[in-house]
């Protein structure tokens, strides 16, 4: 848990823990509310199509600091290491949308306490 944040689990807390498949690594992505709503609505079984810029989705190594220009919400998930491309810094990576439909695991979204859960989940 991050201090000052609460957690959301797109597939429930039980699906957010446990072993990850061989060859997968945990990554983090910082985003805004609109993107967080997309992840929640999709169930986060894979990277939702249309996210990111120029055909790629920027992520960082697990727990890395935010990439400039991103939002206050962090999502962590496992992704195949072979599908990650090097980014502008050694701890930054990106996922090409061509491989984004592969299954992801252990998805957790960390939302600042200042943002009500209803704005992300759509539920009151």
pLDDT by 10s per residue, the chain, length 124: 788 999 999 999 988 998 999 999 999 999 999 999 999 999 999 898 888 877 788 999 998 888 777 899 999 999 999 999 998 888 889 888 776 678 999 999 999 999 999 999 988 7
Q: What is the pLDDT of residue 100?
A: 62
What is the model's pTM?
A: 0.92
Q: What is the pLDDT of residue 72?
A: 95
Q: What is the pLDDT of residue 64?
A: 84
The strand ranges marked E within 62-112 are 73-80, 84-86, 92-96, 105-112
Burial of 48 (0-12, 13-18, 19+ CB in 10 A): middle
Element (H, E) at 7: strand 5-8
State the Cα–Cα distance between residues 9 and 4, nearest whole angstrom. 17
Q: What is the pLDDT of residue 75?
A: 95
């Amino acid at each position: 848990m991050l201090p000052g944040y609460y957690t959301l689990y797109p597939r429930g807390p039980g699906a957010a823990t446990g072993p990850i498949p061989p060859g997968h690594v945990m990554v983090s992505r910082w985003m805004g509310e609109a993107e967080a709503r997309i992840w929640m609505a999709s169930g986060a079984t894979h990277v939702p199509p249309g996210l990111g810029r120029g055909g790629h989705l920027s992520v960082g190594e697990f727990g890395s600091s935010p990439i400039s220009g991103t939002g206050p919400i962090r999502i962590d998930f496992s992704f195949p290491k072979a599908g990650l491309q090097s980014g502008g810094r050694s701890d930054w990576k990106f996922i090409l949308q061509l491989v984004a439909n592969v299954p992801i695991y252990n998805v957790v979204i960390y939302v600042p306490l200042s943002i009500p859960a209803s704005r992300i989940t759509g539920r009151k």
